[in-house]
Amino acid sequence: MVGSTRNLRLFLGMQIALVATLLSAALVLVPTKPARADQCAFPFTPTAYEDLKDRKMFLDTIDLAANNMLFPGDPYFGVPDIQYGPRGARYTMSGTVPPVLLKSIAWVESSITQAGADVPFGSIGASLISFDCGHGIEQVTTGMTIPSGENGKGSPEQALIATNFAYNIARGAAILVNKWNEAPDKKPIAGIDTNGHPSVLENWYFAVWAYNGFTGPGSNKSNHPLDPIYGAWPRPAYSCAPTGDGKGHNRSNYPYQELVFGCAANPPVVDGKQLWAGQQISLPDLNNPIWRNALSMQNFVYPYAKMDIPTPPPFHLDTTPQPDASRRAQILGSPQMQLSKTDVRVGFAPGATGGSTSETVDIANVGSGVLSWYATASVPWLTISPYTGVAVGGDLPCNPTNPCDRLGHMEVSVDSTKAPAGNQTATIQVKALGSNQVQSVNVNVVQVQRINATANPSPTNPLNGATSANTTGVTNQVNPANYSTGGH
């Protein structure tokens, strides 16, 4: 929606008169340093559900998250209140995000996919994790570079971001608002002539820039629009539409905020249909001293107080329709967890690397939607691998020709180098994240004793009915032909 600055000032002035309190500090989220993929939240890649090619469910979820209709009030996945107004006189209002921006970010970040590139649409497979620990649709990196849970494990919140598209999108919306709220203490204000109001798409310029990193020349990826690597201004607008539209398509020629604004106006086309209605967003005219001087390199110094800019004309308001609140229940579903067994038995040889049998427990979702499960052991020497993943309800479409294992699977074993000698008992708690569902698995741990060092056959494991691995001469694996169950 396009309007005049004068009309917007009148509109915003009426809103400001209703605001009674000021915020003394912005809600900020300190960015974390990128890490190698093997240093991310999990030492394995959790599973995730991938939407159909039209991405309709994911796009509808973005509309809900942008309007804070997914998890309102949740301290981690709800959209925080948003601040606006001039420096020294900030106001607060309920937080929302322009849906078109959240969609555009999702496409630029991941092509709006929750699972890895090798996972087909309408299937279940390894979740999308980038080299710098970006996770899922919104490529959430903040808070995902190291495990933040108990005992050095990824936390339940991290598991939801990695496995569940709805929580991933919701967290992306929250992070974007946190980036907005870094102004004016740590970031500049866009829209000093329109009260820096978040309903104006152009006023998200610095927040979108910061979503990918408020970086400039000399960084691994500069997003400064005056960085010489991006050439002269004006540049052809970036486009996510098919090539041949007369616009730019090489991402390396644009800072991040220009990618997002361009994609919002020129959306991707899938099977002949635009994924959303394109919406124009004006960029700062870098040939105009009003914007060029403010954005100059000499002003690119923390806390960037000299970089405040007016709203580039003409300004636009997001015209995305308000989503139907009933869609939330359809998307989230009603997951119901069911375990394949609640008692398991494993054997181990104390001190032997790999000296343990294992047993698998399956997690089913007999309800609907995506169930993100998370398992914890009562003792540190009991190993659960993986300890989080998804179980997918029968309501979500899954192409029978694609990988479509709707069950979650966890393998239970013993770290024989850490387990105390003797028979033990332990418990595993399996939680359906986002609900109050918890189920327990009782684990009987049986110590085995070595008899001899050579075994050629593959006998049936008397502990759990599974066939154990052969070992010849080397006894660093538990083979029931080499060991007998003895009490210590």
Tell me: do 105 and 241 sit in the same domain.
Answer: yes
Helix ranges (DSSP H) in 270-371: 289-294, 327-332
Identity of the amino acid at 66? A
- In this structure, is residue 202 part of a structural domain? yes
- In this structure, is residue 379 part of a structural domain? yes
Structural tokens at position 319: 């015209």
- In this structure, is residue 466 part of a structural domain? yes
Count the Cβ atoms, other than its own, within 10 Å of residue 322: 9
Domain boundary among 316, 342, 369: 316
* CATH classification of the domain holding 362: 2.60.40.10
Beta strands in 29-152 (DSSP E): 47-50, 82-84, 91-93, 123-126
Count of the separate structural domains present in the chain: 2
Q: Measuring CA to CA, how many Å separate 465 from each of 357, 358, 366, 394, 458?
A: 10, 10, 27, 30, 12
Tell me: do 311 and 338 sit in the same domain.
Answer: no
CA dist., res. 473 & res. 50, Å (int):
46
Are 468 and 480 in contact by the 8 Å Cβ rule? The answer is yes
- In this structure, is residue 325 part of a structural domain? no
Tell me: do 43 and 82 sit in the same domain.
Answer: yes
- In this structure, is residue 365 part of a structural domain? yes
Range of the domain at 8: 2-316
Domain boundary among 283, 316, 349: 316
Tell me: do 308 and 339 sit in the same domain.
Answer: no
Residue in the structure block whose two tokens are 């970089």: 307
Tell me: do 309 and 357 sit in the same domain.
Answer: no
- pTM of the complete model: 0.86
Find the helix or strand (DSSP H, E) in which 9 lies.
helix 5-17
Tell me: do 421 and 388 sit in the same domain.
Answer: yes
Tell me: do 155 and 234 sit in the same domain.
Answer: yes
Helix ranges (DSSP H) in 213-255: none
Tell me: do 138 and 221 sit in the same domain.
Answer: yes
Q: Measuring CA to CA, how many Å separate 71 from each of 112, 138, 220, 487?
A: 20, 16, 34, 51
Tell me: do 258 and 341 sit in the same domain.
Answer: no
Tell me: do 308 and 340 sit in the same domain.
Answer: no
- In this structure, is residue 322 part of a structural domain? no
3-state secondary structure of 477: coil
CA dist., res. 204 & res. 82, Å (int):
12
Q: What is the DSSP letter of 253?
A: G
Q: What is the DSSP letter of 34?
A: P
Tell me: do 275 and 424 sit in the same domain.
Answer: no
Going residue by residue through the chain (488 aa), what tens digit of pLDDT does each one get? 444 444 444 444 444 443 333 333 333 333 333 444 457 999 999 999 999 999 999 999 999 999 999 999 999 999 999 999 999 999 999 999 999 999 999 999 999 999 999 999 999 999 999 999 999 999 999 999 999 999 999 999 999 999 999 999 999 999 999 999 999 999 999 999 999 999 999 999 999 999 999 999 999 999 999 999 999 999 999 999 999 999 999 999 999 999 999 999 999 999 999 999 999 999 999 999 999 999 999 999 999 999 999 999 999 999 999 999 999 999 999 999 999 999 999 999 987 777 889 999 999 999 999 999 999 999 999 999 999 999 999 999 988 788 789 999 999 999 999 999 999 999 999 999 999 999 999 999 999 865 555 445 444 443 444 333 333 333 334 443 333 333 33
Domain boundary among 281, 316, 351: 316
- In this structure, is residue 56 part of a structural domain? yes
Are 197 and 191 in contact by the 8 Å Cβ rule? The answer is yes
CA dist., res. 118 & res. 50, Å (int):
11
Tell me: do 100 and 238 sit in the same domain.
Answer: yes
- In this structure, is residue 133 part of a structural domain? yes
